[in-house]
Amino acid sequence: MGVPPVLMLRRKMIIRKLSEYGAFSEESAVTLKDAGIFNPNAFKRLTKIMEKRNILTQTTDGKYYLNK
């Protein structure tokens, strides 16, 4: 069974929004809310999976940036 489309869309949205904000390092990290992610507390498991797969990194103050 594949990944549900809603999760794929959410993943793409997070990547796109963080890219638009230039969040590529700890210094440029932003919260998901500040990046314009709708309902940033939804899909917490997806966010954790993205961290585990080294797509995202969370800073100590709860901000995120992309690993590129």
Does 4 have pLDDT greater than 60?
yes
pTM for the structure as a whole = 0.89
The SS3 call for residue 58 is strand
Please list, residue by residue across 21-59, b when 16 or more beta carbons sit within 10 angstroms of its beta carbon and e when fewer do: bebeeeeebbebeebebeebeebeebbeebeeeebbbbe
Q: What is the mean pLDDT of the chain?
A: 92
Give tens-digit pLDDT for 35-67.
999 888 888 999 999 999 999 999 999 999 999
Give tens-digit pLDDT for 12-40.
999 999 999 999 999 999 999 999 998 88
